[in-house]
Amino acid sequence: MNAASAPSSIPLRLVAAIALAHVAFIGNRFILTLHAVSLGATPSGVGFLLGMVMLGPLLLSVHYGRWSDRWGYGPLCAIALALIGLACVVAAAFANLPALYVASVLTGSGYMLAFIAIMNAVGKLTRSEEMSRAFSVLSLGFSLSPLASPLICGFFIDAFGHRCAYLAMVAFVCASGATFWWSARKYAVPMQPERAPGATRFIDLFRSAPLRTVFIISGLLTMGWDTFTFVAPLHGLATGLSATATGTVVGAFGAGSLVVRLALPWLSGRLSEWRIAALTLFFTAAGYVAFPLMHGFWLLATAAFMLGMSLGSSQPIAMTLIHRTAPPDRVGEAVGVRAAIISLSQTTLPVLFGVLGSAVGLTSVFWLTASMLAVGGVIATRSR
Helical ranges in the chain per DSSP H: 12-38, 43-53, 55-71, 73-94, 97-125, 131-160, 162-184, 209-238, 243-268, 273-290, 297-311, 314-325, 331-360, 362-383
The pLDDT of residue 250 is 78
- Identify residue 159 by its one-letter amino acid code: A
pLDDT of residue 377: 93
Using CA atoms, how far apart are residues 201 and 204, in angstroms rounded to an integer? 5
Q: Could you read off the pLDDT of 135-165 as tens digits, one per residue?
A: 888 888 887 777 778 888 888 999 999 999 9
Which domains occur in the chain, in start order?
A: 12-184 (1.20.1250.20), 202-383 (1.20.1250.20)
d(CA 129, CA 134): 10
> What is the DSSP track for 210-221?
HHHHHHHHHHHH
Walk along the chain (384 residues) and give the pLDDT tens digit of each residue: 444 444 446 788 898 999 999 999 988 988 898 898 889 887 667 777 877 888 899 899 999 998 998 888 989 999 999 999 999 999 999 999 999 999 999 999 999 999 999 999 988 888 877 888 888 888 888 877 777 788 888 889 999 999 999 999 999 999 999 999 888 777 777 665 555 455 567 678 888 888 889 999 988 998 898 888 777 877 887 888 886 787 778 778 888 888 888 888 788 778 888 899 999 999 999 999 999 999 889 999 999 999 999 998 888 888 888 988 888 888 888 999 988 888 887 777 766 776 777 778 888 889 999 999 999 999 999 876
Confidence (pLDDT) at 7: 43
Predicted local confidence at residue 376, as pLDDT: 92
- pLDDT for 238: 83
| Residue 23, φ and ψ in degrees, nearest 5 | -60, -45
Q: Is the pTM of this model over 0.85?
A: no
Of 73, 99, 69, 62, which is closest to residue 21 (Cα–Cα)?
Answer: 73
Query: Would you state the pLDDT for residue 173?
Result: 97
Taking only Cα atoms into account, the Rg of the chain, rounded to an integer number of angstroms, comes to 20
